[in-house]
Amino acid sequence: MSTSAAEARREDSPLPTPAALDSAPPATKSAASTGDTPRRGRHPGRVAVTIAVVGVLLTAVASWGAARTDRSTEQRLLDGQTKQAAAVLSTAILVVQQPLEAVIAVARAAGPSGDRAAFEQYMAAYAGPDKAFGSASLWHRRGDHFERLTVVGDQPAMGPDALVTQAQLRGAFDSKTTTVRLVTAGARILIVYVRADPATGWVVYAERAVPANRRARVDNNSAFNEIHYALYLGRDTRPANLTTTDVNAATLPFHGVTARTMVPFGDTGLTLITTPRDHLGSQFGRELPWLLLVAGLLLTAIATRTGQQLARGRQTAEQDAATITTLYERTDALYGQQRDLFESLQRALLPPVDPQIPNIEFAAEYVAGTHGLDIGGDWFSIVELDGGRFGFVVGDVSGRGIDAVAVMAQARFTIRAYLVDGDDPATVLGKCAEQFDIAVDGHMTTALVGVGDWRTGEVTLASAGHPPPVLMTGDGATFVHVSPGRPLGTGSERYDSTTVTMPPAATLFCFTDGLVERRGEDIDAGLDRLAATLVDVAARPVGDVVAHALRTLHHDDRADDIATLAIRWTPGTSGPR
């Protein structure tokens, strides 16, 4: 952070500075600072009262400012945690909606006669105890009535002739996507999913009971570790719309610092409301208001005593005023440093937003190398460019901590800016090599930068000391030969580019070295192990490819972070699924 920015923040600080003391009311100024003797009639008691009042006010303002800053930081950190939790929910929603969409497509392909066996075989993996749905059934519209043809899993809690059931089925024909509703069946609360095909009259109806403890599987994800949450179906957060929560429902709604976001779900959405389980920021930020309060009151007491002495002697007053000013300046400096830390954390924790790109499916994941600390220098990014192109980057900054994250943020946004400007990968890295210096920031950065054409499957790559990507096709998994230039921060370099054309349904798997490196082992052994691992999953969805690689290659002594990005070219599709 620049010196001017830090100074600007200190100017905003509610703590008094020497300039503030100089502009204080006459009664609070040191008589010695002006060279004048105390005025006659200025009683020491009045001086003490004036200083005490001003000191208490300043202490209150400083404590209030620190508390407000801590609360603001807490809100920003909670917003970041909430976005991560919302991303986990979005993934879980896809797992719920995808089988319904797929089985409708199967019924549509079977024609008017349908295919009960195909429905039963497909939904057997999704319906039943401990599965995505408690039950799933296939229906067909006959006039104004619906006929249930078969059921997979448990028997539906709602009878086929129930008015609520028929109304749900009819309503699905007015929606272009899956309808999602909360329905009460006796003592049970159900989430009902209905997906209809108006062209053929086929309808898929599925039920899932809201757990009695109101807990959801997704809250086992690390994104929920530090927050309490409540999920409501729709935008209305009345108790009747509550689906799951990790607290006693009687304690809702949350109070204090909260965050709210909406996650699309079928024809409606899930409203996620969160609050911290404990303080998310630093312990120092939490205790700073009380430290300032105690220190301020202590300083006020000292200043009061000093004020009495000011009326009696110029020398003593000057010494006491200097002491107070120094203490306030030190407190102000600590306060500014804490705000600097909060802002660095804020920038580092901002999550990337990936665009929707035609003909491209992608999946990515970041895994921290140290338990309980999700701050590292590995990153991935993908951005849509002009002319049917898209750019992507996977990078790794040496080291860990706030400084490494700051370098990572600089590299990520610098590379992204050059890509948006239209530079090719080799030019991007060449420009970046001029902007990083390991002697200055103490870190070096490896990066693999690519620019692809979603219409042709052509991808141009350039590497700054980064491991090569794996190209997965029907013939196997092979590493793409990319000439590795010098890492960023180690000096200027002219980088070479490599262009490959991905066959349809091929996948380009990019990663950082934490995935393949093991202590005491040559990195080539890790690369061979990765290639062998990816051969078995080349035809599976890109999300499964990433998950399988991380699950298979994970080991207990891993200390480095891991960032992965899988890109699949699927000509004829509209974008990621």
* Count of the separate structural domains present in the chain: 3
Provide the pLDDT confidence category of residue 17 given band limits of 50, 70 and 90.
Answer: very low
Task: Please choose, from the candidates 214, 267, 271, the residue with its C-alpha nearest in 3D space to the C-alpha of residue 243.
Answer: 214
Q: What pLDDT does 545 receive? A: 93
pLDDT for 556: 67
How far does Cα 4 stand from its chain's mean position? 30
Does residue 557 form part of some domain?
Answer: yes
Does any domain span residue 48?
yes
Which comes out higher in pLDDT, residue 374 or 362?
A: 362
Q: Of the ranges 71-75, 192-196, 324-328, which one carries the lowest mean pLDDT score?
A: 324-328
Look at residue 211 in the predicted model and tell me its pLDDT. Answer: 81
Residue 381: inside a domain: yes
The verdict on residue 192 lying in a domain is yes
Residue 28's pLDDT is 41
- In one-letter notation, the amino acid at residue 558 is R
CATH number at residue 168: 3.30.450.20
- Predicted pLDDT of residue 392: 96
The residues with which 179 forms a beta bridge, in sequence order, are 194
Same domain, 440 and 302: no
* Weakest mean pLDDT among 25-29, 80-84, 332-336: 25-29
Q: What is the mean pLDDT of residues 324-329?
A: 84
Examine the domain organization and report whether 375 and 509 are in the same domain: yes
For the domain that residue 481 is a member of, what is the CATH number? 3.60.40.10
Rounded mean pLDDT, 145-171: 87
Question: Among 33-47, 263-277, 349-363, which stretch is predicted with the lowest mean pLDDT?
Answer: 33-47
pLDDT given for residue 336 in this prediction: 58
Written in H, E and C, the secondary structure of 179-243 is EEEEEEECCEEEEEEEEEECCCCEEEEEEEECCCCCCCHHHHCHHHCCEEEEEEECCCCCHHHEE
Residue 375 and residue 321 share a domain: no
Q: Are 208 and 133 in contact (CB under 8 A)?
A: yes
Does position 416 have pLDDT exceeding 60, yes or no? yes
55 and 134 share one domain: no
What value, to the nearest 5°, has the Cα angle with vertex 20 and ends 15 and 24? 115
| Residues 487 and 555 both lie in one domain | yes
Q: Does 154 score more than 70 pLDDT?
A: yes
Per-residue model confidence as pLDDT tens digits over 237-259: 998 889 888 888 778 899 989 99
Asked if 432 and 564 sit in the same domain, the reply is yes
State whether 181 and 290 are in the same domain: no
User: What gap in Å lies between CA 217 and CA 211, rounded to an integer?
Assistant: 10
Q: What is the mean pLDDT of the chain?
A: 82
Give me the mean pLDDT over the 104-108 stretch. Answer: 82
pLDDT digits over 272-312, tens only? 999 998 988 888 888 888 888 898 899 888 888 877 777 66
In a domain, residue 262? The reply is no
Question: Which H or E run contains 264?
Answer: strand 259-265
pLDDT at 14: 40
> pLDDT-based confidence at 103, cuts 50/70/90?
confident
The string of pLDDT tens digits covering residues 504-516 is 999 999 999 989 9
As a whole-number percent, the residues of the chain with pLDDT over 90 amount to 37
pLDDT of residue 341: 54
Nearest to 530, CA basis, from 547, 508, 552: 552
Q: Is residue 429 part of a domain?
A: yes
pLDDT(576) > 50: no
The string of DSSP letters for 386-410 reads STTEEEEEEEEEEEESHHHHHHHHH
**28 and 139 belong to one structural domain:** no
pLDDT over 60 at 155, yes or no: yes
- The owner of tokens 């009960």 is 116
* Percent of the chain at pLDDT exceeding 70: 84
**54 and 194 together in one domain:** no
Among 193, 209, 225, the domain-final residue is 209
Whole-angstrom Cα distance, residue 295 to residue 86? 41
pLDDT exceeds 60 at position 3: no
Asked which of 316, 348, 380 is the last residue of a domain, the reply is 348
- What's the token pair of residue 53? 């009042």
9-29 burial by CB neighbour count: b if 16+ within 10 A, else e? bbeebbbbeeeebeebeeebb
User: Where residue 324 falls among pLDDT bands split at 50, 70, 90?
Assistant: confident
Residue 245, domain member (yes or no): no
Say if residue 326's pLDDT is above 50: yes
Residue 195 sits in the same domain as residue 116: yes
pLDDT at 221: 79
CA distance 106 to 100: 10
The rounded distance, in Å, linking the Cα atoms of 265 and 282 is: 35
45-100 tens-digit pLDDT: 887 888 888 889 998 998 898 888 888 999 999 999 999 999 998 988 888 888 99
What pLDDT is stored for residue 347 in this prediction?
39
Position 340, amino acid: D
The verdict on residue 78 lying in a domain is no
> Which range has the worst mean pLDDT, 100-109, 349-358, 410-419?
349-358
Calculate mean pLDDT across residues 419-443: 92
Written as one string, the DSSP assignment of 321-334 is: HHHHHHHHHHHHHH
Range of the domain at 161: 111-209
Last residue of a domain, which of 209, 244, 272?
209
494 lies in the same domain as 454: yes
**Same domain flag for 18 and 49:** yes
pLDDT at 39: 46
Rounded to the nearest angstrom, the gap between the alpha carbon of residue 336 and the centroid of all alpha carbons in its chain is 26
Taken in order 276, 281, 283, 286, the sign of the CA dihedral is negative
Does 315 score more than 50 pLDDT? yes
